[in-house]
Chain A
Amino acid sequence: MDDSVKEVEILLVEDNPTDAELCMRALKRNKMANQLVWVKDGAEALDFIFATGAYSSRNVCNGPKVILLDLQLPKVGGMEVLRRVKADERTHSIPVVILTSSKEDRDIAESYELGVNSYISKPVEFDAFAKVVAELGMYWLLVNRPPILK
């Protein structure tokens, strides 16, 4: 895969293709979808992040600049992915933004407990959704300064 060589900026973990497409379109509109990888479940997301399975040729330290993570995922849930990312010292500094339909208080609380960087509930209205996605892409990719990884 070509993507594996390039520096990936956004990892989108989303099982719903329409939501994924909307998300990608919203990013594309703001010219931020170039270095985006979309995976459809938690297991694939973990393979990508930790350079295992299909992504074993990747370097773990060459992680994405931000992970957009849905919570309701097949195989491995979003919360488990978050837990694993934040538990591993190679990946725990990668910003993780939960982008989900869930508004459950306990999901929000648990996510923050695990060290999530943002928790965003996806609005139904596309304009609002596009605005939110653009803003968080802008912030995490352009405004935020991540630590230098060795």
Chain B
Amino acid sequence: MIQRSGYLSRFTRTLWLTVVFFVMFAITFFLYLRAERQTEHAYELRHHSFVLADELRQSSDDLTRMVRTYVATGDPIYKRHYQEILNIRDGRMPRPVRYEDIYWDLVLDDDRRPAPDGEAISLLERMRLAGFTTTELAVLAMAKANSDALTKPEFAAMALIEPPHPATATNRLKAMRMLTDTAYHLAKAGIMKPISEFYKMLDERTLKAIRDAERFATLLRLALIMLGAALAFLLWSAYRVLYATLGCSVDELQERISRLGKGELSLPIPVARGMEDSVLAWLSGTQRSLARLDAERRAAEVEVRQLNAVLEQRVAQRTEQLEAAGRELEEFSYSISHSMRIPLRALDGFSKILLDEYGTTLDDEGKRLLNVVRDNAQRMGRLVDDILHYLSLGRRPLEQAPIDMDGLVRGLCAEIQAATPERSLHFSIGELPPSRGDWVMIRETWRNLLSNAVKFSWESDSVLVEIGGAAGNEENVYCVKDHGVGFDMRYADKLFRVFERVHPTGQYEGSGMGLAVVKRIVTRHGGRVWAEGKVNEGAAIYFALPNKGENHG
């Protein structure tokens, strides 16, 4: 786990480092662009500086031309121009736009100007604004000062041809000489020399600025190359770290995961050497676990199926054995019951013969005792017959036919009433939905229930037996209810057992088989029976037969 988080942090670290280097690269690139512009700026500055210095030189030459022309022609317009040049240079008059271009050469004797006026600003001020160094400014200020100083002899020369002096040729010549002699040219050279010096300084300054800018640009270019290389390296190492973390390429990993997701668990995932702690290796481990679990699950399933089969076979075997045992038991009961009939018949028969043929030699008590023997033999005979009948219910095949319950019950009621004419029986017959089953057996069920109801009713003149039924989705329920002696609900489950009697022998005739027979018949039909009752208040016996879609609605 520690190793894993280390891998992840290494990847993150590499990623962050890449971001930092990228930012540095961007800054350097920006600086490089600026350095490239710096060279251009140096050239621009040089040109601007040159123009400013040249404007000083030009103004000096223009002054010389104006003063000489004035002296030669005496035209006052040249003197005005002369004065104007001085004023513009010192910022006392507005400086025309694009004054640095050719200006005074284009102003002719009609005094029309080639450009409009601009802002009034002195030349030295403009030089200072242009960022000239102190030395440069000092040199140029000296040149200007020399130029200003030269105006003194020039004004003196102009004064020679003005009143009070007469404008004679001599004076004019004298003035012209003043403007062309060696002293004048020396003074002129005194102006031009600093300017020339400034040009040299300007070139040096420009060259230095360009060299500085180029050196800086070269440095930056170098830095850019190194940063680029570093970036490439970082990206490569980020890829390496990622590869080491994943153990394979992202595409392959995606493919593997998607296969696992689709449930292809059995395909092993190969892991390269040295990649034992990668995502792919964990995935490989997961795949192995999943494949193992899957195999175990399949094996368990097979085992469960086999066990199930064995279990089912055993259940079938046991059921068969149980059924065979049940059949055997019934067979046994049947043959016992059956075998008992012969001795019973002999018992009764020979008792009767004894009574008939030797009755005269027996006294009354002897005859009574013989009759007791006969009574019991006969009762046992009836019991045996009942048992045989009960057992035969399980041996007979079950007929399945529609049964009109209402008609069946009404017929039985009439039969029972006819058999007991001395009693007034009231059968209240409710709805009795039709059903399916063995007609003979179902009839016996109803007969047992109805005769029981009559039998256990109070021996009054009128007997009420309520009969009803209800159709259901799963089963049809039928009920016979009397208002007779009833029974204790505690013995409700005993009612349906063979020979179980809730009432003492002799009180009510019958072997105690009636409800057992009912239960056996209904159970064979797949139905169920139950009873509700209360002592002295009557009993209700219910039975339900499965409804196999016979009732519509």
Contact = CB atoms under 8 A, between A and B. Distances in A.
Nearest to A19: B342
B350 A18 contact: yes
Query: Which of B342, B351, B381, B385: most chain A CB closer than 10 A?
Result: B342
A126 B341 contact: no
Interface in B57-76: none
B392 A124 contact: no
A124 B350 contact: no
B341 A101 contact: yes
Nearest to B377: A124
Interface in A108-150: 122-127, 129-130
B396 interface: yes
A125 B378 contact: yes
B353 interface: yes
A58 interface: no
B348 interface: yes
Contacts of A25: 349, 353
Interface residues of A, number: 18
B381 A127 contact: no
A145 to B, nearest CB: 32
B495 interface: no
A103 interface: yes
B352 A122 contact: no
A16 B342 contact: yes
Contacts of A125: 345, 348, 378, 381
Contacts of B381: 123-125
B173 interface: no
B396 A124 contact: no
Contacts of B17: none
A101 B342 contact: yes
Contacts of A126: 345, 348-349, 351-353
A30 interface: no
A70 to B, nearest CB: 10
A144 to B, nearest CB: 26
A19 B396 contact: no
A25 B378 CA distance: 19
Contact of A124 (B351, B353, B378, B395): B378
Given A103-B388, A124-B345, A125-B348, 14 more contacts: A18-B345, A18-B350, A19-B342, A19-B345, A22-B349, A25-B349, A102-B338, A103-B392, A104-B392, A105-B395, A105-B396, A126-B348, A126-B351, A129-B349
Interface of B: 338, 341-346, 348-353, 377-378, 380-382, 384-385, 388, 392, 395-396
15 contacts: A25-B349, A101-B338, A103-B392, A104-B395, A105-B396, A122-B345, A124-B341, A124-B348, A124-B377, A124-B381, A125-B378, A126-B345, A126-B349, A126-B351, A126-B353
Of all A-B residue pairs in the complex, the 10 with the closest CB atoms, nearest first, are A124-B381, A126-B349, A18-B346, A22-B349, A126-B352, A126-B348, A124-B344, A101-B341, A124-B345, A125-B378
